[in-house]
Structure 1
Amino acid sequence: MRLLHTSDWHLGRSFHGASLLEEQAAALARIIELAREAEVDAVVIAGDLYDRTIPPAEAVLLFNDTLAQLRQDGAAVVAIAGNHDSHVRVSIYDPLLAAFGVTIRGDVRRADQPVLVQPRRGGTPVAIYPLPYLEPAVDGPWLARGPEGDSAAPTRLRHEDVTRLALGRIRRDREGRPDHHAVLVAHTFVAGGQTSESERELTLGNVDRVSVEAFAGFDYVALGHLHG
């Protein structure tokens, strides 16, 4: 399978008051060109599709046009909401778009519902699990619920905790797909990663860090958030 892994498009971002939309359009045109030349099976966008929760209309149009072109060239598109995105807004049409080969996942409750991609050149099917950015205080209580609806979650959850809870649900789905390779798409700060000046601090200390070991068992993990 050929996978083009991208992330952190931050469409609609400005630099000292000047719009970067023209430069971003040029970068996305290159992504379209790469996907076409390599005949990729899927293009992944691992979060921060936009630079803010309510992006400018021009950024939304650029995003829509880019996804339409990628699909026209034959690639499935799998995207997730990042910490800069409105989870509800970016994924409002996800159930409808999925029927046309475009997934934009913002609801963690659907993280264990993979996008199934059959490689164009044949071979083993691939299950791509889109796990949007997790807010411990918001997503933790639901993720901690057991089969009977009970919650045994600690009062203060870290990113590591909620990520492992979400991955536990995904792994249970994986058990029923032994013939599928598995790709995870996530937007998080993995311990050991290097920060850069273009990122914005989310927390104090290291409570936002997730260990590499949490992602064991996947064939590929497509991460976003750290721009390097």
Structure 2
Amino acid sequence: MRILHTSDWHIGRSFHGNSTLDALRGVLATLTEQVREHRVDVVVVAGDVFDSATPAASCYTMLTDVLRDISDAGAQIVLTSGNHDNAARLGFMAPLLRDGIHVVTDPARVGTPITLTDEHGPVHFYGIPYLEPIVVRGVWAGVPLRTQEQAIAHAMSLVHADRAVRGGRSVAVSHCFAAGVEASPGVEREIRTDLRQGSLDVVPLSAFDGPDYVALGHIHGRSRLGEHVRYSGAPLHYSFSEAGKPRGSWLVDLDADGLARVEWLELPVPRPLVTLRGTLDELLSDASHEAHIDAWVCAVLTDATPQPEPMRRLQQRFPHCATIQLDPQGRVEDDGRSYRARVVAARSDGELIDTFLTHVREGEGASADEHEMLADVIASRAAAAHEATVPA
């Protein structure tokens, strides 16, 4: 049996205020072609199908189109819910879908597989939706479920019990943060938030012993925790911290004895991501940046003082400049005096103006050219004032 493992589609997620629907639609169209080209039997989607618990209507339309296209390409689908999904909303559509599209969102179904067959016999797919401890306590009464580690451990105990009875080959699908993976900063922030709320913790790799393959979701980069335990990552880059990391899915072959082969299938990157660093003038003029004209750009500005209309000016050169970060360099160290104290201490009009500029520019006073210009203006005004006091 040939399986394509994907996850974390995050349909509906925006990228710094820009819709990703069209880009994702194109990438998933390529994935569908890979299903057809490689004669995939089953596509596994390991959670976070949507980015929001309340996705827009266009997100449902896109999911319907993609699932239909994958089904038309000849594959069955096993799809589970992730922490971004609303399990009830996602599961509501399950009975309405055509045969061969299986949506698993109900924790009460954990341990009851979706059984598909090939020439070697049955393969049991055990879908484990995202398990929030406070929710599943009502499903598994009497089981201590304070952490997700405990929830996954109990879910896998149900899987093991069923496997012992049924026998044969098996695949587990789960959405969690398993031991031994390195998350991107964006996902790490999400994990730390969930940890503070007590709803997510690290699940040990040993929890997934037993099945022939374990398809995981939640981490946006591909990761191999063991030969049979892997993350596929997201099909799109959803943050600048993911720039340069491959996008794709795992092509998994099961033979009569279990896991036979795993291959990585690349997906296209619709628009590359790049972080450019320098002063605004450098970013606008450096010829080496021509290669990034069509990329998503994160501009890290090192100007010592705020620059006028930086986004407008950057987008004239980089139409897809998505965000600006400020990292000013070369500021004058604060001497601890208040602005009032500096004004009082000024010994001339030039020093007074320079004190004002230093204050409003957050540490940078007048430049050499500005000093020269100010000196000329002050001298001219002094001369005019002197002439006005001299009798004609």
| TM-score of the two chains, using structure 2 as the length reference | 0.53
Q: 1:218 aligns with which of 211, 227, 236?
A: 211
1:176 aligns with 2:174: no
2:195 maps to 203
Q: 1:137 aligns with which of 131, 134, 139?
A: 134
Aligned partners of 2:180 and 2:23: how far apart in 1? Answer: 30
Name the aligned partner's letter for residue 157 of structure 1.
R
1:114 maps to 113
Q: 1:206/1:48 Cα in 2 relative to 1: closer, same or farther (>3 Å)?
A: closer
Cα offset for 1:207? 5.3
Q: 1:206/1:133 Cα in 2 relative to 1: closer, same or farther (>3 Å)?
A: closer
1:194 maps to 182
Aligned partners of 2:124 and 2:147: how far apart in 1? Answer: 27
1:123 maps to 120
SS in 2 for 1:69: helix
2:155 maps to 166
Q: Is the CA contact (8 Å cut-off) linking 1:41 and 1:117 kept in structure 2? A: no
Aligned partners of 1:128 and 1:45: how far apart in 2? Answer: 12
Q: Deviations over 1:80-130 (max 9, x none)?
A: 000000000001132453x601111110101222111113xx223210011
Name the aligned partner's letter for residue 210 of structure 1.
V
Indicate the percent of aligned positions where both proteins have the same amino acid: 40
Q: Is the CA contact (8 Å cut-off) linking 1:53 and 1:85 kept in structure 2? A: yes
Q: Deviations over 1:39-82 (max 9, x none)?
A: 11100000000000111111111111110111112201000000
Aligned partners of 2:128 and 2:199: how far apart in 1? Answer: 21
Q: Deviations over 1:167-198 (max 9, x none)?
A: 111222112211x2010000000011110134
SS in 2 for 1:176: helix
Q: Is the CA contact (8 Å cut-off) linking 2:12 and 2:21 kept in structure 1? A: yes
Aligned partners of 1:197 and 1:25: how far apart in 2? Answer: 25
Q: Which has the larger displacement, 200-209 or 130-139?
A: 200-209
Cα offset for 1:208? 1.1
Q: Deviations over 1:133-186 (max 9, x none)?
A: 00011113422x3xxxxx1x34x61111111111111222112211x2010000
5+ long unaligned stretches in structure 2: 222-392
Q: Is the CA contact (8 Å cut-off) linking 1:188 and 1:210 kept in structure 2? A: yes
Higher relative contact order (CA 8 A, sep 6+): 1
Q: Deviations over 1:190-218 (max 9, x none)?
A: 01111013422322399511000011111
1:94 maps to 94
Aligned partners of 1:73 and 1:206: how far apart in 2? Answer: 38
Aligned partners of 2:49 and 2:62: how far apart in 1? Answer: 11
Aligned partners of 1:61 and 1:10: how far apart in 2? Answer: 14
SS in 1 for 2:121: coil
Aligned partners of 1:64 and 1:206: how far apart in 2? Answer: 30
1:148 maps to none
How many residues in Structure 1 have an aligned counterpart in Structure 2?
Answer: 216
Name the aligned partner's letter for residue 133 of structure 1.
Y
Whichever structure has more helix as a proportion of its residues is 2
Cα offset for 1:227? 0.9
Name the aligned partner's letter for residue 48 of structure 1.
D
Aligned partners of 1:34 and 1:198: how far apart in 2? Answer: 29
| TM-score of the two chains, using structure 1 as the length reference | 0.89
Aligned partners of 2:199 and 2:174: how far apart in 1? Answer: 18
Q: Is the CA contact (8 Å cut-off) linking 1:118 and 1:124 kept in structure 2? A: yes
Name the aligned partner's letter for residue 39 of structure 2.
E
2:49 maps to 49
Bigger radius of gyration: 2
Name the aligned partner's letter for residue 101 of structure 1.
G
Aligned partners of 2:199 and 2:129: how far apart in 1? Answer: 20
Aligned partners of 2:8 and 2:172: how far apart in 1? Answer: 16
Q: Is the CA contact (8 Å cut-off) linking 1:94 and 1:103 kept in structure 2? A: yes
